[in-house]
Structure 1
Amino acid sequence: MGTGSRHLNKLPFSSSSSSSLFLLVVVAVFCIMISSCCQSVYGQIMYDRVHIYAFNDLDPVTTLTIHCKSKDDDLGEHTLTIGQNFQWSFHPNLFETTLFWCSMWWHDSNGKLVQASHEVYRVNREWYKCATRCYWSIRKDGWYEGPSRGDVHLRYPWQ
């Protein structure tokens, strides 16, 4: 009986090293789970820097005024001539609540004010549409969105 208790006291792992090993395994599994859930079809991590581009594609004589913001950042008011763009970049937050919206306005050929405000980036929506580069083409019939300048689709018609 005395021999058996000596062997129990000489186990290769102490309880503190077993706890450390268990914690290491839990952290490794957690990291694997996070990295697998944060992948997109584009192969980027959801928390990579995102770039937003908004282009004035109205017509050669029409200027577009744009004012974009998030809960934390007011990006200011910008006036764009044809072909110009306003761009900004950011890292989506860990809680996937990143949201930017813009107000845009211009005057039609009769001098009538055309204006609207819409969300332009909501992480759990735009990420799957355009990953780290989102393009907005502002045209006379509405706001177009897509993953590249040449691949945009009508998202919001002017009201």
Structure 2
Amino acid sequence: MASSRNHNFIFMPISFLMIIATIPLTSAGLLPFSAKHVVIINKLVTRATLIVHCKNKGEDKGVISLGPGDSFDFRFRVNLRKTTVYTCSFAWPGNTATFDIFRADRDDNPKSKVGVCSECIWSIYEPAPCRDRRDGGQPNCFQWDGFP
């Protein structure tokens, strides 16, 4: 009888751990240090070259030149306090703009209106940066920072 109890004692925690392992908690924004992949695509209607410069407090991704349809991507992990922000400046002929391409409070928060993204795909248009949806629905477009 004692060996039967020991078997159940070991089986239950292992079953629980197997169930927990199948739930993608980090991609749902529920655990700290969730892995993120940001992709920025030049979709300027004018087909101009887009100059992109992204950085956060501790990391500068450098200045990248994107031709029409070209993309640039980078990966990182959200910090423990979930305050990670990557800000990008964008320039194309006659225009400059900035935008927080990743904000943990917006992009890694299940309660935000746009939801969590583990792969955050951004299409950059003249009027607005738009985060594409994985389900193919209408993208979520935002105003450029500092624009009325």
TM-score for the superposition, normalised by structure 1: 0.63
Matches of 1:84 and 1:77, distance apart in 2: 14
Structure that is richer in strand per residue: 1
Partner SS for 2:105: helix
Structure 2 unaligned segments of length 5 or more: list them.
Answer: 1-23
The residue aligned with 2:68 is 82
Please report how far the alpha carbon of residue 82 of structure 1 lies from its aligned counterpart in structure 2 after TM superposition: 1.1
Structure that is richer in helix per residue: 1
Matched, 1:126 2:107: yes
Matches of 1:101 and 1:125, distance apart in 2: 13
Please report how far the alpha carbon of residue 118 of structure 1 lies from its aligned counterpart in structure 2 after TM superposition: 1.5
Q: Using a 3 Å threshold, how does the CA distance of structure 1 residues 156 and 82 change in structure 2: closer, same or farther?
A: same
Q: Say which of 129, 136, 139 aligns to 1:143.
A: 129
Matches of 1:40 and 1:124, distance apart in 2: 15
Matches of 1:117 and 1:137, distance apart in 2: 14
Please report how far the alpha carbon of residue 86 of structure 1 lies from its aligned counterpart in structure 2 after TM superposition: 0.8
Matches of 1:49 and 1:147, distance apart in 2: 18
Identity of counterpart residues, as a percentage?
26
Matched, 1:155 2:142: yes
TM-score for the superposition, normalised by structure 2: 0.68
Matches of 1:60 and 1:79, distance apart in 2: 15
Matches of 2:35 and 2:26, distance apart in 1: 14
Matches of 1:136 and 1:103, distance apart in 2: 14
The residue aligned with 2:7 is none
Matches of 2:57 and 2:86, distance apart in 1: 8
Matches of 2:39 and 2:105, distance apart in 1: 18
Structure 1 unaligned segments of length 5 or more: list them.
Answer: 1-37, 108-112
Matches of 2:83 and 2:28, distance apart in 1: 20
Q: Larger relative contact order (C-alpha < 8 A, sep ≥ 6)?
A: 2
